[in-house]
């Protein structure tokens, strides 16, 4: 009974710092996923399959594209697009369905708010986890690209941080949208937005194939910014214009994070 005798003694509990709190939420999610590691596998394999079927298969019928005045083979064109898409897809899995489950069904955040953790800790921790998942997929994909000789620049080492930025942007916005979802069906809307992005964001062919007005639209979408950023890194065509993509993705992610925090306040601290 010593535990309980001590229950009246002074305790050492105290609110956590931001970094510590984030690390703890990552740890909690790691524990929960440890038993279901195989679901990570499908998310990783999806873009790999696309790379083989379209990049390599269809690629035999395509001569390749010009990127920054240099012609690169088709697979090397498609691969960074798949890498960016895998960061997006990996992130969205946790930022939508899993976040919704924790928020509405598992009551996980209600539990956390009975401790010194704050809604900001939760928003930050969950976003970190989802972008990390996207980052892990992308890192794995980068290894595949290396093995296939599809990387032509040392800049490529920065493609993993770039993938984390894509995760930040999509994670932040998707988590924010998820706080407004009423049922599982509402998530079809997310698919409705991400599928065309996946297909048309210069992933499989350059935007020059579009009429000018449509090209402008595509260039404003977040996945396009991620795809060109990754392609610039893996083909070594980095320029100041790449910074535009970086700023775009950071702003999107931070805006999402702030909305998530506000929404959690409204939903949970009633």
Which parts of this chain interact with another protein (CB under 8 A)?
A: 1-16, 20, 24, 27-28, 31-32, 106-108, 110-118, 268-270
Beta carbon nearer to another protein, 112 or 131: 112
Residue closer to another protein (CB basis): 9 or 192: 9
Q: Work out how close the CB of 4 gets to another protein at its nearest, in angstroms, rounded to a whole number.
A: 5
Q: Minimum distance from CB of 109 to another protein (Å)?
A: 9
> Which CB sits closer to another protein, 32 or 254?
32
Residue 221: CB minimum distance to another protein, A: 34
Q: DSSP for 114-153?
A: TTT--HHHHHHHHHHHHHHHHHHHHHHHHHHHHHTT----
Helix (H) or strand (E) holding 71: strand 70-72
Taking the C-alpha atoms of residue 45 and residue 155, their distance in angstroms, rounded to an integer, is: 24
Least separation in angstroms between residue 253's CB and another protein is 25
Nearer to another protein, 71 or 106 (CB): 106
State the DSSP string of 10-70. Answer: -----PPPHHHHHHHHHHHHHHHHHTTTHHHHHHHHHHHHHIIIIIIIGGGG---EEETTE
Which is closer to another protein, CB of 147 or CB of 269? Answer: 269
Closest approach of Cβ 159 to another protein, in Å?
Answer: 31
* Rounded CA separation 105/206 (Å): 43
Find the shortest distance in angstroms from Cβ 27 to another protein.
7
Nearer to another protein, 1 or 61 (CB): 1
Q: Are 25 and 129 in contact (CB under 8 A)?
A: yes
Instruction: State the sign of the Cα–Cα–Cα–Cα dihedral 204, 207, 211, 214.
Output: positive
């Amino acid at each position: 009974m010593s535990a309980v005798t001590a229950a009246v003694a002074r305790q050492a509990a105290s609110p956590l710092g931001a970094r510590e709190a984030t690390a703890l939420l990552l740890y909690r999610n790691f524990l929960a996923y440890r038993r279901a590691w195989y679901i990570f596998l499908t998310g990783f394999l999806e873009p790999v399959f696309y790379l083989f079927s379209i990049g390599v298969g269809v690629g035999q019928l395509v001569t390749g594209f010009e990127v920054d005045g240099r012609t690169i083979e088709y697979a090397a064109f498609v691969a960074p697009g798949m890498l960016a898409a895998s960061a997006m897809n990996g992130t969205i899995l946790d930022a939508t369905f899993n976040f919704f489950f924790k928020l509405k069904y598992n009551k996980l955040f209600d539990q956390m708010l009975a401790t010194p953790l704050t809604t900001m800790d939760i928003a930050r921790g969950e976003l970190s986890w989802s972008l990390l998942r996207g980052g892990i997929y992308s890192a794995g994909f980068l290894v595949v690209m290396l093995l296939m000789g599809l990387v032509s620049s040392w800049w490529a080492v920065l493609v993993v941080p770039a993938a984390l930025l894509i995760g930040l942007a999509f994670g932040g916005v998707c988590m924010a949208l998820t706080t407004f979802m009423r049922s599982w069906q509402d998530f079809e809307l997310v698919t409705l937005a991400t599928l065309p992005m996946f297909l048309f964001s210069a992933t499989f062919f350059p935007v020059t194939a579009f009429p000018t007005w449509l090209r402008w639209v595509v260039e404003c979408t977040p996945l396009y910014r991620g795809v060109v950023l990754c392609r610039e890194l893996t083909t070594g065509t980095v320029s100041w214009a790449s910074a535009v993509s970086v700023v775009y993705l950071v702003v999107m992610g931070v805006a999402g994070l702030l909305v998530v925090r506000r929404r959690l306040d409204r939903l949970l601290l009633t």
